[in-house]
Amino acid sequence: KKVIFSGIKPSGDLTLGNYLGAIKNWVKLQDNYDSYFCVVDLHAITVKQEPALLRKRTIEILALYIASGIDPEKNTLFIQSHVPAHSEAAWLLNCYTYMGELGRMTQFKDKSQKLGESISAGLFNYPVLMAADILLYNTDLVPVGKDQKQHLELARDIAERFNNLYSPTFKVPEAYIPERAAKIMDLQDPTRKMSKSEDNPNGYILLMDTPEVIKKKISRAVTDTVGVVRYSEEQPGIMNLINIMSAITGLTPEEIERKYTGCGYAQFKSDVADAIVNELSPIQGKVKKLINDKTYLEDVYKKGAEKANYVANKMLRKIQKKIGFIPR
C-alpha cells in the first residue's frame, strides 16, 4: 500500500479550513493508503504557546481526527513529540537545506512580519521539520491545503538533493490538494486565508462552534453588492461560501449557482450555515464523548507512537549511515 502522511499543529482551535482542506480528505483517502496522521506539537511551538492550552489542544485534535471518521485501528495516529526521530531528522536535513530557500517561504514571510522582533529560529526552520515528518515514512502522498504547497515542494527538493548527493534514500512525495476546499478564506476578509491564529473570531468558523455561533458568523460574512450567487473571482466572499458548500455537499459550483438563481444572499447564507451545522454537529457530539475517555485516547496515541517510532527510526538509521556516522 502507498503511504500518506499529514498533520495539524495545535496552535489554536481548529477551523473549518483545517477540516475541509485537510481532515475531510484524510477520511476519504484512509481506506486505500497506509496512513500516518500526526498532531504536530513540535511545529506549534515555533510561535508562543501556553503550556496548559497546548496540552488541551493536542488531545482535542486527536479526538477530532477520530470523531471526523479516521479509524485509529486502520491508521497510525500519533503525537509528533512522541517520536524523537522527527527532531533528529530535522537537524540532519537542516544541513542539506539552504538559508535562501527558507527565506523564500511565504508562510515565514507572512508570519514573521506579524511577529516583529520575536521571530524564533524554529519558525524559520519550520519547513525542514515538515520535510523530516514526511520523508521519515517513505510517504507517497501528502494531503494538505494549498497554503502548504510551497513547503511540500521544498521537502521534495531536499529529498532529491539528498538522494543525488548519496544514493536513493527518500521517496519523493506528491501533494494532494483538494479542488474546492484548497483554500477556505476568512469570512471578514475573503482575500485572506481562514486561519486558527487570527485575531477576529468573526473571520473563522471553529469546528467546535455552536450552531448559533456558526449561523451568526455566516450571516455576517462579507459579500458584495452584486446580489447574484455567482462563482466569480470578482465576488470573493460569495465564491468562498460556494466553495464551502461545494466541499460539504459534493455539489459543483455550477450546480450551486443554478440552485440559487434568483435567490438573495440571506437565503443562500442560511443554507450554507445549515450545511456546516449538519456536517459538524455529529462530529462535535463525538468529540465531547471522546474527550472524557482519557484512557482510550492515551491508548490510541501510545500505540500510534510505537508503530511510528519503529518506522521512523529505521529511516533515521538509514540517513545516518548514508551521511557517514558510525553505527551504534
Q: Which residues are catalytic?
A: 111, 193, 196
153 close to 106: Cβ distance less than 8 angstroms: no
* Pick from 149, 143, 137, 126: nearest CA to 44: 126
Q: Determine if residue 74 is labeled as part of a ligand binding site.
A: no
Q: Determine if residue 194 is labeled as part of a ligand binding site.
A: yes
Residue selected from 21, 173, 190, 304 as contacting ligand AQP according to rule CB under 6 A: 21
Residue selected from 3, 5, 13, 22 as contacting ligand AQP according to rule CB under 6 A: 22
Residue selected from 24, 57, 86, 196 as contacting ligand AQP according to rule CB under 6 A: 196
**Degrees (nearest 5) of the Cα angle 221, 222, 228?**
100
Q: Determine if residue 145 is labeled as part of a ligand binding site.
A: yes
Smallest gap from Cβ 219 to ligand AQP, in A, equals 20
Q: Determine if residue 1 is labeled as part of a ligand binding site.
A: no
Q: Determine if residue 219 is labeled as part of a ligand binding site.
A: no
Cα separation, 165 vs 17, whole angstroms: 38
User: Cell numbers 510505537 correspond to what residue?
Assistant: 306
In the bound state with ligand AQP, the residue whose beta carbon lies nearer, of 8 and 229, is 8
In the bound state with ligand AQP, the residue whose beta carbon lies nearer, of 11 and 76, is 11
198 close to 114: Cβ distance less than 8 angstroms: no
Copy the grid coordinates of residue 28. Answer: 476519504
Cα separation, 67 vs 101, whole angstroms: 38
Cα separation, 11 vs 49, whole angstroms: 7
283 close to 70: Cβ distance less than 8 angstroms: no
Cα separation, 71 vs 103, whole angstroms: 38
105 is an interface residue for ligand AQP by CB under 6 A: no
Three-state DSSP state, 180: coil
Cα separation, 259 vs 262, whole angstroms: 9
In the bound state with ligand AQP, the residue whose beta carbon lies nearer, of 15 and 246, is 15
Give the range of 179-187, 219-227, 262-270, 271-279 binding ligand AQP by CB under 6 A.
Answer: 179-187
Give the range of 113-121, 195-203, 269-277, 289-297 binding ligand AQP by CB under 6 A.
Answer: 195-203
144 is an interface residue for ligand AQP by CB under 6 A: yes
150 is an interface residue for ligand AQP by CB under 6 A: no
Residue selected from 62, 83, 152, 181 as contacting ligand AQP according to rule CB under 6 A: 181
Residue selected from 3, 5, 9, 86 as contacting ligand AQP according to rule CB under 6 A: 9
Residue selected from 75, 76, 80, 195 as contacting ligand AQP according to rule CB under 6 A: 195
Cα separation, 111 vs 11, whole angstroms: 13
* Pick from 147, 151, 234, 133: nearest CA to 193: 147
217 is an interface residue for ligand AQP by CB under 6 A: no
Copy the grid coordinates of residue 192. Answer: 485572506
Smallest gap from Cβ 245 to ligand AQP, in A, equals 14
- Chain residues in the site for ligand AQP (CB under 6 A): 8-9, 11-12, 15, 17-18, 21-22, 144-145, 147-148, 181, 183-184, 193-197
Binding-site members for ATP are: 9-11, 17-18, 145-147, 184, 193-197
